[in-house]
Structure 1
Amino acid sequence: MAKSTKEISSSANKISVLAQNSTSKEISQKQASFNLGIEKNADFGDVGMGVLSDGTPYLNQRGLAALCGVQNAHIGTISSQWNDDDEKPRIKAIKAILEKAGYTAASAHFEILHAGRTHYCYPAEVCLAVLEYYAFDAGSNCQPEARDNFRLLAGSKLREMIYSQLGYDPSGKNSAKFERWHERIALNYQSAPKGYFHVFNEAHTIIYELIMAGADIGANFVVDISIGQHWSKHWEASGLAAQFERGKYPHRYPDSHPQSKSNPQESWCYPLAALGEFRQWLQDVYLEGGKFQGYLQGKVSKGQIAPSVAQLAIATLTPPALPKPGG
């Protein structure tokens, strides 16, 4: 029975959280460039890589050349000859490798305009086919770098390497972790009046690190309330209230939070002139003075987070001091 092949196009190999289009037709290079964007990209030494907006991992031309141990121009020639009527033996061999893996490609790369310049993006499956060719099938042009890299990156390992290097989650699980926090941001990112700040926006780094440590941030885990309560007490006790005048602003919770039933809720906002005081207090008193640790220990005792989450968050949010001059 003939093995079915998948077409590498702007709708092919979508990540599992996206709907598959079983009837997708071939998309030309011009159409692909229009439909696709670059989600993430970076250079690691000589290897440039990224992830397209449909979740497809790729290497750029220079990166693929480096893995294959050949000049950048050789990879460019593969692209330019990909659809020649008189198909060159090298192109025929690479396409055969690709088809054996279950893929076809209308072109070797996508041209994507990103950040003001054109990027030449070679999908991971094309990269592996070219890498295998230069590892074993190029005759006198076989490259030891290609063999070494193919052994390291065969199968799904190239995809996984690109995702890992870029911190990209193809399952979409990390995106779901941030969903409820993002809902609050969407409702409140501009809610403080001009000239004032509010604790919710200033707590973003703490909330982010808690989510990354594994905390389920939601209706029962609103760390900015804890920060706000302690800061308000400090505001009065330290004499800041005599120096500055704070005010109230409407804060809203998304429908996924039971607190939304009493929207909008009045919350304190503070003048920007006091922002330096707040950030110093947040680091010295709340984070390093034991208040944050006490808040997390309360969550641990209620079974709302694991002890490891609390330990990781505390360790991450206690940055090292700058070295002393001459030290």
Structure 2
Amino acid sequence: MSLINQRNLGLFSITESRNNDLGMGVLSDGTPYLTNRGLAKLCGVDPSVTLRLLQKWDDEKNRPRGKKILELLAAQGYGEQHLYIEANGIHGPFLAISDAVCMAMLEYYAFEAGQTNAEIAKTNFRILARSSFKLYVYEQCNYNPNQKIDDSWQMFHERLLLNDNIPINYFSIFKELSAVIVNMIREGCKIDDTTIPDISVGQIWSRYWTQNSLDKTYGERFKFPHTYPDTFRQSSGGQYDAWVYPVDALGVFRRWLYEAYFMDKFPKYLNTKVTSGAIVAQDASRLIDALQKPSLTTSQPHNNTNED
């Protein structure tokens, strides 16, 4: 199930570098890239040469040069229609060329093109082959792909420890969403003081509770102190009060959460996080899929007793 259209939202550069005069960076989904000028410099050719390959690929892939590059791309498992990713950068839209395309074109100009300055491409190919394109770009851009996840775990853990004293006969929205938040972090969503899913869930569930007069069936809810860690901006407002609900209503809440909120409201919430850059579109789609839990159906056992 893909509820979020990545093509409409697009990727963007989260870090850029021009070390060694190479335009490079990392996109919001972790993809390392070179700009066209960076790729051309790496291959030892004029930027107009690589730009034509990128923009006229439908024609170029049927010509001798393009056929060879196509073989090199296939060897790397690359099967995309285009050789570039349309992305947004600090200075506006640009064409980002991913590692597979860069390495295929670099290998072509190093060993297949027969150009007079092939040594430039050969030297760069050997440098990147000794480590990897991805690690090279990450290092040049001072990008740590695990940092976002590490920070998210730390902030979630701090908040969990501060709010672990809910009365045993009540439940809180934050603690009930712990498994959801863990899945969000695993799928690459940055959890910090700008991404607090329990606020969204709590507000909508509160309206549902009131509209359906659930207090008459399960008892009164009441406000209980909720504390944010010092790493959250919300901590400057002191202690907050959040609703806690009778534990007898927990089954109703869980059913509502998976059958109503996750099916309708959660994709809209994730879209706002994709737009803000907290999570990328394909990760959001995977997260939605991960939260679709199957329901258990039961039936009466068959009576196989032979009464003849």
Q: TM-score, normalised by structure 2?
A: 0.47
* Bigger RCO (CA 8 Å, 6+ sep): 2
Q: TM-score, normalised by structure 1?
A: 0.45
Question: Per residue, is there more helix in 1 or in 2?
Answer: 2
